[in-house]
Amino acid sequence: MRAFTAILFDFDGTLADSYAAIAASVNYVRALSAMDPLDEATVRGLVGHGLQQLMASVVPGQPAEVTTAQYTEHHPRVMTSHTRLLPGVSHVLPILRERGIRLGVCSNKPVAFTQSLCESLGLTQYMEVITGPETCGHAKPNPAMLLYAAGALGASPVNTLYVGDMVVDIQTARAAGMSVYVVPTGSHSRETLLEAEPDRLMESMVELVQDLPSR
């Protein structure tokens, strides 16, 4: 593993399995429009491009600003109880910090939700910066939030690694001039991720520290 000075993580599908929570809020909003519920697997495939785009996909024909507000009002009721850390995350993060690597989160999830979940899952003790589309006014694949987070950590893009679970994460890291690793624990399959040519595909987060160089 390269001696990165900072590592940034996506949230949904990378650090945590939050799809049950997202599906619950999606189906709450769909019910308000008299639409049948979607299964979690369907919702999983639509996540990752920002909340307004998700709402446009799952409640077509309704104003996105209205459905986004409905989702935002409902989601705090379910997000903590329906979200869990993915395997290996609680093992890896303290090791990275012990090695002096600075850590952050860059997600297309609304930043208030990400901050709240990081706190409830015990991640804020490791994450020095948490960003979302509101931070810089752009969602991924625009690289603005990644560049902002790296700067906040005092790291250059060339010495920063981004870890995600979707093709959009690969595209964003490339646009930011960062290396990118992916895990097939979120919205995209191994095959889809490999086709997008990440620097590395990890089967689980534990691989992130297996070849970590001494400092």
Say what the pLDDT of residue 202 is. 95
Residue with token string 């095959």:
191
Say what the pLDDT of residue 50 is. 87
Say what the pLDDT of residue 48 is. 84
Say what the pLDDT of residue 178 is. 97
Strands (E), 53-210: 84-85, 102-106, 127-131, 160-164, 179-182, 200-201
Say what the pLDDT of residue 66 is. 96
Q: Are strands 127-131 and 102-106 parallel, antiparallel or unpaired?
A: parallel
Q: Is 9 helix (H, G, I), strand (E, B) or coil?
A: strand
For the chain, which residues score pLDDT lower than 50? 214-215
**Helix ranges (DSSP H) in 33-124:** 40-44, 51-58, 64-74, 89-98, 111-120
